[in-house]
Amino acid sequence: MGIGAAFAAFGLVFRGPRERFWDRMTATGLVLGGLALATDRDARRARIGPAEIALGLASAAGLYGIFRVGDTVAREVMPRGGEEIGDIYALRSLRPKEELAARLALVIGPAEELFWRGFVQRRAGYLTATALYGGAHIVTENATLIGAATIAGAYWGLLRAIGMPLGALVVSHVAWDIWIFLIAPTEASDGAVSPRQAEE
């Protein structure tokens, strides 16, 4: 039921009106994060202290390095890589940066870790949880985003599998989201617009 709810929610998030994307994404985070907290003891026991913050920031930096390389590869290898990356970053223009940072830090980032690496991975295992996380993004029809989600899910899932505390993964996800999406995007130009935006 949890996986079904997640796939249905992701479908609504990415298929609904674009201008309300962040409202739907935040609502999805509240639902999935709430489900994890209500049903998973690891999620309820997650704590964030100095050690978790240090681990989380270090692992976020590692994933950011992977994505810097991946961005270049996607633009060169995938026919629509540049367009799809631009389309993802275009979502930043829908809300003020301060508001997006708050949504990512307080709801969206923590909820994804509590649900996918807490609730789902503890029950389904690393490989299945990673496949499901990537699969939930198929509805976007954005091959670059699907690949990025799968890589990020595999990265965080592996860290969880080898024992990284869930609290550290929450820090990692939040730090990575804010850094790559709002502070230092992999796009060559922070002001670049996607081809979709140009058409609109």
Torsion of CA 34, 36, 42, 45, to 10 degrees: 0
User: Which residue range is the domain that position 160 belongs to?
Assistant: 2-199
**What pLDDT shows up at residue 87?**
85
**What pLDDT shows up at residue 79?**
61
> pTM, whole model, 2 decimals?
0.88
Tokens of 35: 């489900």
Return the half-sphere exposure (C-beta side, CA atoms, 13 A cut-off) of residue 65.
6
Q: What is the DSSP letter of 186?
A: S
Query: What are the mean pLDDT values of the chain's consecutive 10-residue runs (200 residues total)?
Result: 92 92 96 95 94 98 91 70 79 94 97 96 96 95 90 97 97 96 72 40
Tokens of 175: 């730090």
CA distance 64 to 85: 15
- 121-139 per-residue burial string, b: 16 or more CB within 10 A, e: under 16: bbebebeebbebbbbbbbb
**What pLDDT shows up at residue 200?**
42
Amino acid at 70: G
- 82-115 per-residue burial string, b: 16 or more CB within 10 A, e: under 16: bebbbbbbbebeebeeeebbebbbebbbbbbbbb
**What pLDDT shows up at residue 81?**
61
**What pLDDT shows up at residue 189?**
39
40 alpha-carbon distance from chain centroid: 20
**What pLDDT shows up at residue 33?**
96
**What pLDDT shows up at residue 190?**
40
**What pLDDT shows up at residue 11?**
92
Give the number of domains in the chain: 1
**What pLDDT shows up at residue 134?**
95
